[in-house]
Amino acid sequence: MKRLCALWVGVVLLGGIAVAESADLSRPRVWTAASGQQLAAVFVELSGDQVVLRNRSGESIRIPRNRLSAADQALLDESFGPMESVASSESSDLSRPRVWTSASGQQLMAAFVELSGNQVILKNRSGEPIRIPRTALSAGDQALLDESLGPMVSAPAAEDEFATPAPDMGAASYGTSAPSQGPITVAGTEIPLGQKTTFHVPLDEETIKDLKKSKNEATEAVVGLWLPQDFDPRKEWRILLVSATVNASSIDHMHFYLDPARDAGGWVVIAGDGPHAPPSGDSTEWRWSMAKAGLMALDAAFPGARQWPIATGGFSGGAKRSGLLGGILCRDKWNLIGMYMGGCNQDMASKGLATYRPGRAEFRKVPVFLSIGEQDTVATVQSGHKVRISLEATGFRDVRMETYDGAHDPYLPHTTEALKWFVELAAKSSASGAGAPAGRLR
């Protein structure tokens, strides 16, 4: 990996930060996407075909190199050489990454790994294995496999989504096998248990109108959903709503939460993105529109899911969003039982209370779990304590802050601990009556 030292000096002031307009990658500058969107950030490294930048809040942002403006791509070409070509969907070379297309038209940049029976195993840019039935691929991709590996022996029923990641073979140890039942389907998409699956959900007319007012037009949301191996639609489950930092995909960040949800038991994980990421205005209202579409699709598939306990979770900017979305969920009378905030250096739950005006008494009962790395220079231990103090000053009664030996990276054991803690406090609150305070766990 190629890494450059970040020197925070420059000649143009943008958003309170000195930003260089020069071609010197060691200095902060304005980066421009092919869509015209701009971001003041410092270059960190090239990771494959991903450009890693750091914004003025110290948060890392990944942008595909080919989604930058022609000028920015030329700058990278000059500094590091041209990007290695990636095989297109027309290429017949299975040894190189290429664009794979499903029968429904979904596309995915991935490398071929192997053919396991009639399952095609690919590896995406993040290194995650992806399984897709051979018959669920486009006719062109199926013909490529036929040519390279021979025709398929038998043809099982097709599934229409790329399923990510491949299921953990040890997952059964976390729960019993799924009960005998038909396929689990949400919004017309079959959801394989134990795998993250994405699908599209149309937005309602009111949401479409509201987004147009904020100059963020969309007619559908892209939803990521993970259901555990022992999922039974006849039972009540808990929902973990994942959020990512600004200009990042919440669905891509779900992988940090799947093992903790599996370990805690009784949770499903969901996230929502827009059809085009990042949007021109990445607001909390935009994020909520996409997440809400997924949640309502869940309720349509499993009547009563609207009343299931729900928690928000995120890291860094996603942690801040967790507090804001918590305010919206509480305002709209969802059964909010917790807010998990990893690597968080700012109290946005108090802002969520002021902005979205949920019931003060109800919202301040919601427990908050703060997870801070002892070597984190972005969300320091000191800033974590300031967030805790601010939350307690607002009146949040159950605020728990834990530290770990690490930097600005998610710490999964804390996520598991937080989910278990939320359930424990919810049970205590329910047992002691609606008006009694929840117990503390220290």
Nearest 5°: the CA angle 405, 168, 180 is 135
Are 417 and 261 spatial neighbours (Cβ–Cβ below 8 Å)?
no
Q: How many CB atoms lie within 10 A of CB 331?
A: 18
In this predicted model, which residue has the larger pLDDT, 12 or 205?
Answer: 205
Q: In the prediction, which pLDDT does 94 show?
A: 80
pTM of this prediction? 0.62
CA atoms of 59 and 316, how far apart (whole Å): 7
CA distances from 331 to 85, 277, 354, 429 (A): 49, 27, 11, 19
Rounded to 5 degrees, what are φ and ψ at 74?
A: -65, -35
According to the model, what pLDDT value does residue 84 have?
54
**pLDDT value for 107:** 66
pLDDT of 352 reads: 96
Tokens for 207?
A: 């949401």
Note the pLDDT tens digit of each residue in 161-211: 444 443 332 332 223 333 445 689 999 899 999 999 999 999 998 998 888
Q: What are the percentages of helix, strand and coil residues in the chain, rounded to 5?
A: 30, 30, 40
Distance, in Å, from the CA atom of 62 to the CA atom of 277, rounded to the nearest integer, reads 12
71 in Cβ contact with 57 (< 8 Å)? no
Quick one: fold of 2-80? Answer: SH3 type barrels. (2.30.30)
Q: Quick one: pLDDT band at residue 151, thresholds 50, 70, 90?
A: confident
98-163: which CATH topology? SH3 type barrels. (2.30.30)
Q: 2-80 and 98-163: same fold?
A: yes
CA distance linking residue 330 with residue 357, whole number of Å: 9
* Widest distance between CA atoms in the chain: 68
CA angle 14, 19, 23 (to 5 degrees): 140
Q: What is the 3-state secondary structure (H, E, C) of 152-174?
A: CCCCCCCCCCCEECCCCCCHHHH
Nearest to 270, CA basis, from 286, 247, 301, 293: 293
Contact 248, 404 (CB under 8 A): no
E strand or H helix that includes residue 383:
helix 381-394
Q: Which amino acid appears at position 123 of this protein?
A: K
Q: How far is the CA of 216 from the CAs of 80, 130, 180, 295, in angstroms?
A: 35, 31, 43, 20
Nearest-angstrom CA–CA distance, 196 and 164: 5
Average pLDDT, the chain: 80
Kindly report, residue by residue over 374-429, the tens digit of the pLDDT. 999 999 999 999 999 999 999 999 999 999 999 999 999 999 999 999 999 999 98
Pairing state between β 60-64 and 50-55: antiparallel
The CA distance from 429 to 435, in Å, is 8
Kindly write down the DSSP assignment for every residue of 101-170, as one continuous string. Answer: EBTTS-EEEEEEEEEETTEEEEE-TTS-EEEEEGGGB-HHHHHHHHHHH---SS-PPP--S-EESPPPTT
Q: What is the pLDDT of residues 284-321, one digit of tens each?
A: 998 999 999 999 999 999 999 999 999 999 999 999 99
Rounded distance, CA 323 to CA 380, Å? 18
Residue 277 pLDDT more than 50?
yes
> Has residue 323 got a pLDDT over 90?
yes
Q: 157-174 b/e with 16+ CB inside 10 Å = b?
A: eebbbbbbbbbeeebeeb
pLDDT over threshold 80, residue 110: no
Given 3.40.50.1820, 3.90.1150.10, 3.40.50.720, 2.40.160.210, which CATH number is that of 189-432? Answer: 3.40.50.1820
- Domains of the chain: which residue ranges? 2-80, 98-163, 189-432
Count other Cβ atoms within 10 Å, centred on residue 270: 25
Contact by Cβ (8 Å): 225, 201: no
**β-strand pairing of 163-164 with 185-186:** unpaired
- Judged against a pLDDT cut of 90, whether residue 351 lies above it is answered with yes
Side chain identity at residue 303, one-letter code:
P
How far is 83 from 50, CA to CA, in rounded Å?
10
Q: Three-state DSSP class for 95?
A: coil
* Spatial distance between the Cα atoms of 104 and 119, rounded to a whole number of angstroms: 17
- Give the end-to-end CA distance of the chain in Å, rounded to a whole number: 41
Residue 394, number of CB atoms within 10 A of its CB = 17
Asked whether residue 134 carries a pLDDT value surpassing 90, the answer given is: no
Residues 6+ apart with CB under 8 A from 235: none
